[in-house]
Amino acid sequence: MHTGEVTLSHETYLTHLRAESARFLDVLRDADPALPVPSCPEWRSADLLWHLGEVQWFWGTVVAERLQSVEALEGPARPGTYAELLSFFAEQSDRLQTALSSTDPSERVYMWADDKTVRYIGRRQAHEALIHRLDAELTVDEVTPLDADLATDGVDEVLRVMFGGCPPWGTFTPSSTHVHVVASDTGTVVPVVLGRFTGTNPDSGTAYDEPEVSVTAADAAAQPQATVKGSAEDLDAWLWHRRDDARLTVEGDQGTFARLAEMLSQPIN
């Protein structure tokens, strides 16, 4: 078992991004545009296709144009037909891949997360494509396995960044309650500490005082009150609310796991 931040090489992320995007497109190519997406109930298959196409257009633009701000960025109009949506996605997927592969991964551009490097955009987009590929497969009932190494990295990213990120205007105060999230097939342990997030967003004026988790504030040497084990695939899909916890094993205090699960129940897409 090993702990610590899990990251793959920039080239590996781009390889996964290409493969997951291609699978996503193949799955939806002949799908009924009106098919409901069970993991995103507000969407139909055409909406899912548009969403990932628009996301890849956005980040392709950020990287290609080396944007430091997106306040003035105007998005494209949604194509009117399903065939046009398919073409739009294919074009934007190629454009994003080209932008990421031709740019120094250490270059800094706009990014909402703390890590503002092109490399992190590659990482984020590999996982975006992975999860939405799973959405597409769930839509047509043709689910295939998730790559174990990418899913392991996904467990780290979703806990460290998507849930556990702390903006500069906020404060995370850890408790003494720790949980270990263990990918049993790859031997990776992601330590998590439960705590509280407080702060006021200077842009919106919204004040926060709510339970939160953190990986960066966790003490990897601390004895966990609970340990959550499962394959990297099952953990990643569970954390992204694409699969329930039926295949996971919880050791230790069940109340601690219940608190963790509640904190992780907030929607993320």
pLDDT digits (tens, 9 = 90+) for 46-105: 999 999 999 999 999 999 999 999 999 999 999 999 999 999 999 999 999 999 999 999
The per-residue pLDDT for range 77-87, each reduced to its tens digit, is 999 999 999 99
What's the CATH fold of domain 2-144?
A: Four Helix Bundle (Hemerythrin (Met), subunit A) (1.20.120)
What's the token pair of residue 55? 């996301």
Q: Is the pTM here over 0.85, yes or no?
A: yes
pLDDT tens digits, one per residue of 180-193 = 999 999 999 999 99
List, in order, residues 6 or more apart from 180 with CB less than 8 Å away.
Answer: 189, 190, 191, 192, 224, 226, 227, 228
User: Could you tell me where the DSSP H helices lie in the chain?
Assistant: 10-29, 45-64, 82-101, 118-140, 148-157, 232-239, 254-263
CB atoms under 10 Å from CB of 31, counted, come to 19
Using the CB atoms, write b or e for 179-205: b if 16+ within 10 Å.
Answer: bbbbbebbebbbbbbbbebebeeeeee
Fold classification of 149-263 is Nonspecific Lipid-transfer Protein; Chain A (3.30.1050)
CB 264, CB 180: distance < 8 Å: no
Question: For the chain, how big is the Rg over CA atoms in Å?
Answer: 19
Q: For the chain, where do the domains classified as CATH 3.30.1050 start and end? A: 149-263
Amino acid identity, position 233: E
Residue 261 has pLDDT above 90, yes or no: yes
Task: Quote the pLDDT of residue 52.
Answer: 98
Residues of the chain with CATH 1.20.120.450: 2-144
